[in-house]
Structures are given as structure tokens and as C-alpha cells.
């Protein structure tokens, strides 16, 4: 599915803007999808998908499919879908009242007037519904979004538009949502995009017509399922076009209060300038993606980090584990490394600085020498979207704790 003229385009994974999401070769016969410079994923995989596949993904409420259609595609005929949905809803309502069940004495013109009455009723109900949804956008906090994360901004927004503040709405414990909130106060927010989403979600009304044709109009269980699909599709469009994360919205108020001091870690952090050095090895550079995720209401964060070669892109180091808050600023970090090492690191958080030092290191049988004997790492939040990580290491051949890694991360989600 080739896309229309909106520029810039947006990564459907993280919302990072870009002038294009694919390149064409051989007079347009070959298409190469481009990776996002922020998150490293393909910016829009649906470019190569057939319309039927995209439609199925929309029915399955896939948020990336909604982002593709609403943010990266012109979708100029959205109003036609809205009009069709309006007539379908009016027709189904008319049939449920008088349109199907009538005797021969019923005058044709009376049926016609009843239909127009149903259409007028449905029209005003639809207008009120759209007005209520668009009006609810005014209640969103007037905080500017991250200029590199623009879910909720209109697809026709250009680079010449001024961006607002980089402040984000905070969840309990200073946990930032994975997508930025729009600002209705500085014209960053696109009501047209929300309206397109409402028209797009009207596809669920078509299933009512199918139920009517198959004589299931009085089968309330099926009608209830169709209504549920309509509500869910509208909800998904609202989340996509306003930038509200479903999961984070549902978790508001359920975050463990012990995470308040480290909630700023939650999200995806990307580094393109990592450097490594140690007395026994050559200096090197690396790219790194680090992610901290909530684990329900538990007082811990799931942690993963993966580094890759800056030029070749092949993986270098992988580690995952859990960061647990014990209260009073005390922390424990348990990590498993891909080269056969496990570490238990303990320390504290002081304001926006986390420092942990290894208290126990395990080693897999068959691991290569020299072995790691001690580790220390420090995470420092420079500003809301910038984090630095510094790591020290001691080995069996270099027993003094020596600085080993340093990287600056940018928050992308």
C-alpha cells in the first residue's frame, strides 16, 4: 500500500518523524523499507502490505495499522466512510423499528418518512458523539510533546511548525507514558486526525448490516459483539491519535509507590555514541538499546539492554534482569549476561542518580578467562529525555575497579 503526500512521515513504532519511510529503485519497481533512526525498527512495514491485510489488521485493532492509515497515509476519502457508516446505522435502526416488520397496509411513503426520521436522528447522534470525543481532547494536559515522538499530531504537520515544550505528562511515580501527549493549546494537536480516526472506526457498523442481511437483527448476542467491536475500534483510534498509551492509562494508580524514586527510568532509551575501553582490550564503539518496563504493581522494573556494532549492526552484548526497589532509596539489580555471567548489584538512588555495585557474581561453566570479579554502574538522568550510563569493571587480571563503558541515551518511548 503506497502512501500519500503527508510529510513528514512518522515511525509507527516510536513516532519519530522522517522525510520518507522507504526508497524506490528500478523506476519504482523495487521498494526498500528504511529503519527508524531513533528506535532502529522499520518505520512503516505496512507500506508493502496489501489493502486487505491492512484491513484485517484494523479489524484486529492493531495500533500500528491505525498509525499507518491515520498518520502516514493521506486517507482523503475518510468522510465517505463516515457517510456510509451513518446511512448503515440509520438503516439498521429503521429496520429494527418499522423497516422490516410491517404489514401490507403500511403506506410506502410512511416508511420513507420513518427512514428519513431515523437518518436525521442518527445524524444528530453522530454529531453529538464526535463533538463529545473532540471536546474531550481539550481536557488533555496542555503539555508539549517530544519533537521526536509525535503520535497524536496531524499527519500533515510540517517541519516549519513550531514545536512546544518537551515536557511530558507524568504518571504516578514520575513514570512517563510511552507516547507524548498532544498540546491543544499551541496548534500541535490535530483534531482532523481524531475525526479521521472516528470515521475509520465506523467500519464496525458494516457488521450490523451483515447481521441484518443474514436475519440476525434480533440476535442480541451477535449485535452485542458488533457493538463491542465498535467501542473498541473507537477507543483504539482515540489512543492512537491522541498519543495515550492503553497499557499505561490502565495502570495509572496501580504503580507501586516504592518505584516513585526510579519511575523516570521507565521507557526505551537509545544510544548511538557508546564507547568502551579497558587496559587489556582495544577501545571500541557501540550502539545500545536499553529498556525498563513495569511489572504490574510489583516494586520492580524489568530491564533489558542490547548493544550492537555501530557499522556492521551485529549484536555484541546482551543482558536482562530486574531492578527492585527495597525502600528508603535502596536498590537491587539482578542481571544475566550473554557471555555466561550473572551479577547481583546493590546500591542506592539519590535524586536522579542510581549507583549499584556488585555484591555477588556467578560464572557459567566453560566461560572464558579472564573472569569478571567486580562491577559498578551509575545511571544519571541529565534531563527528562537524556540519560548517561557509566560502568566500571575489575577482572582476574586487572584487579583494580576500572572505568569500562560510557554512553549517553535518548528516550524514544
DSSP, residue by residue, 204-231: GHHHHHHHHHTT-TT-HHHHHHHHHHHH
* 173-225 pLDDT tens trace: 333 333 332 333 323 456 777 778 888 887 877 777 777 677 655 666 777 78
d(CA 413, CA 407): 18
* 72-131 pLDDT tens trace: 887 777 788 888 888 888 887 787 775 445 555 556 677 778 888 888 988 898 888 878
For residue 36, the SS3 value is coil
**Residue 189 has which C-alpha cell?**
494537536
**Residue 390 has which C-alpha cell?**
557509566
Instruction: Give the pLDDT confidence score for residue 87 in this predicted structure.
Output: 85
Q: Compute the Cα dihedral for 23, 25, 28, 33 and give only its sign.
A: negative
Q: Structural domains in the chain? A: 1-74 (no CATH), 77-251 (no CATH), 257-411 (2.40.128.20)
Residue 189 DSSP code: B
At residue 38 the predicted structure's pLDDT band, cuts being 50, 70 and 90, is: low
Phi-psi region of 78 (alpha: psi -120 to 50; beta: other; left: phi over 0): alpha
Q: By the 8 A CB rule, do 94 and 114 touch?
A: yes
**How far from the centroid of its chain's Cα atoms is residue 187's Cα?**
22
d(CA 405, CA 389): 8
pTM of the complete model: 0.50
Mean pLDDT of the chain: 77
* 78-91 pLDDT tens trace: 788 888 888 888 88
Structural element, H or E, at residue 55: helix 51-59
For residue 130, the SS3 value is helix
* 248-268 pLDDT tens trace: 433 444 567 888 899 899 989
Lowest mean pLDDT among 44-53, 140-149, 180-189, 392-401: 180-189
Residue 408 has pLDDT above 80, yes or no: yes
* 346-378 pLDDT tens trace: 999 998 999 999 999 999 988 888 899 999 999
Instruction: Give the pLDDT confidence score for residue 184 in this predicted structure.
Output: 30
Closest CA relative to residue 151, chosen from 171, 177, 132, 172: 177
At residue 1 the predicted structure's pLDDT band, cuts being 50, 70 and 90, is: very low
Instruction: Give the pLDDT confidence score for residue 158 in this predicted structure.
Output: 35
Q: Is the N-terminal amide bond of 370 cis, ω within 30° of 0?
A: yes
Instruction: Give the pLDDT confidence score for residue 252 in this predicted structure.
Output: 43
Q: On the CB side of 86, how many CA atoms lie within 13 Å of its CA?
A: 21
Q: Is the N-terminal amide bond of 150 cis, ω within 30° of 0?
A: no
Residue 381 has pLDDT above 90, yes or no: yes
Q: By the 8 A CB rule, do 185 and 142 touch?
A: yes
Instruction: Give the pLDDT confidence score for residue 216 in this predicted structure.
Output: 56
How do beta strands 281-294 and 17-18 pair?
unpaired
d(CA 212, CA 215): 5
**Residue 64 has which C-alpha cell?**
500500528
Residue entry with cell 535502596: 330
Instruction: Give the pLDDT confidence score for residue 250 in this predicted structure.
Output: 39
* 40-63 pLDDT tens trace: 778 888 888 888 998 888 888 888
Helix segments in 153-293, DSSP class H: 191-200, 205-213, 220-242, 246-251
Q: Which residues contact 117 (CB under 8 A, 6 or more apart)?
A: none
* 292-347 pLDDT tens trace: 998 877 899 999 999 999 988 889 999 999 999 998 899 999 999 998 999 999 99
d(CA 238, CA 193): 10
Residue 142 has pLDDT above 60, yes or no: no
Phi then psi for residue 100, to 5 deg, are: -105, -50
Instruction: Give the pLDDT confidence score for residue 178 in this predicted structure.
Output: 33
Can you name the residues that pair with 336 across neighbouring β-strands? 320, 342
Structural element, H or E, at residue 253: none
Q: By the 8 A CB rule, do 297 and 252 touch?
A: no
Instruction: Give the pLDDT confidence score for residue 285 in this predicted structure.
Output: 95
Amino acid at each position: 500500500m503506497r502512501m500519500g503526500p503527508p510529510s513528514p512521515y512518522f515511525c509507527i513504532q516510536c513516532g519519530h518523524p522522517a522525510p520518507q519511510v522507504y526508497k524506490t529503485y528500478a523506476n519504482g519497481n523495487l521498494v526498500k523499507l528504511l529503519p527508524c533512526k531513533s528506535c532502529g525498527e522499520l518505520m512503516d512495514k505496512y507500506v508493502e502490505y496489501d489493502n486487505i491485510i491492512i484491513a484485517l489488521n484494523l479489524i484486529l485493532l492493531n495500533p500500528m495499522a491505525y498509525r499507518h492509515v491515520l498518520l502516514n497515509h493521506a486517507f482523503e476519502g475518510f468522510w465517505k466512510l463516515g457517510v456510509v457508516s451513518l446511512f448503515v446505522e440509520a438503516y439498521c435502526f429503521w429496520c429494527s423499528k418499522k423497516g422490516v416488520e410491517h404489514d401490507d397496509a403500511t403506506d410506502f411513503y410512511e416508511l420513507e418518512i420513518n427512514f428519513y426520521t431515523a437518518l436525521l436522528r442518527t445524524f444528530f447522534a453522530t454529531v453529538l458523539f464526535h463533538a463529545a470525543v473532540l471536546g474531550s481532547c481539550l481536557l488533555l494536559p496542555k503539555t508539549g510533546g517530544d519533537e521526536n515522538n509525535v503520535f497524536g499530531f496531524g499527519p500533515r504537520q510540517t517541519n516549519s511548525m513550531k514545536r512546544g515544550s518537551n515536557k511530558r505528562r507524568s504518571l504516578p511515580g514520575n513514570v512517563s507514558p510511552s507516547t507524548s501527549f498532544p498540546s491543544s493549546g499551541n496548534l500541535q494537536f490535530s483534531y482532523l486526525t481524531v475525526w479521521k480516526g472516528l470515521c475509520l472506526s465506523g467500519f464496525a457498523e458494516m457488521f450490523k448490516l451483515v447481521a441484518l442481511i443474514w436475519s440476525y437483527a434480533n440476535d442480541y448476542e451477535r449485535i452485542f459483539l458488533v457493538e463491542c467491536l465498535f467501542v473498541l475500534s473507537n477507543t483504539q483510534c482515540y489512543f492512537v491519535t491522541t498519543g495515550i498509551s492503553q497499557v499505561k492509562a490502565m495502570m495509572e494508580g496501580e504503580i507501586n509507590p516504592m518505584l516513585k524514586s526510579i519511575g523516570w527510568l521507565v521507557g526505551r532509551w537509545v544510544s548511538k555514541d557508546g564507547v568502551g575501553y579497558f587496559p587489556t582490550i582495544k577501545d571500541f564503539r557501540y550502539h545500545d538499546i536499553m529498556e525498563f518496563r513495569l511489572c504490574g504493581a510489583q516494586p520492580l522494573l524489568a530491564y533489558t539492554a542490547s548493544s550492537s556494532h555501530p557499522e556492521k549492526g551485529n549484536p555484541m552484548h546482551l543482558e536482562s534482569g530486574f531492578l527492585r526497589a527495597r525502600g528508603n532509596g535502596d536498590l537491587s539489580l539482578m542481571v544475566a549476561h550473554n557471555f555466561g555471567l550473572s551479577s547481583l548489584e546493590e546500591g542506592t538512588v539519590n535524586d536522579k542518580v542510581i549507583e549499584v555495585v556488585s555484591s555477588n557474581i556467578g560464572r557459567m561453566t566453560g566461560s572464558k578467562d579472564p573472569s569478571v570479579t567486580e562491577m559498578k554502574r551509575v545511571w544519571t538522568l541529565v534531563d527528562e529525555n537524556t540519560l548517561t550510563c557509566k560502568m566500571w569493571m575489575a577482572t582476574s587480571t586487572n584487579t583494580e575497579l576500572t572505568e569500562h563503558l560510557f554512553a549517553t541515551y535518548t528516550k524514544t518511548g
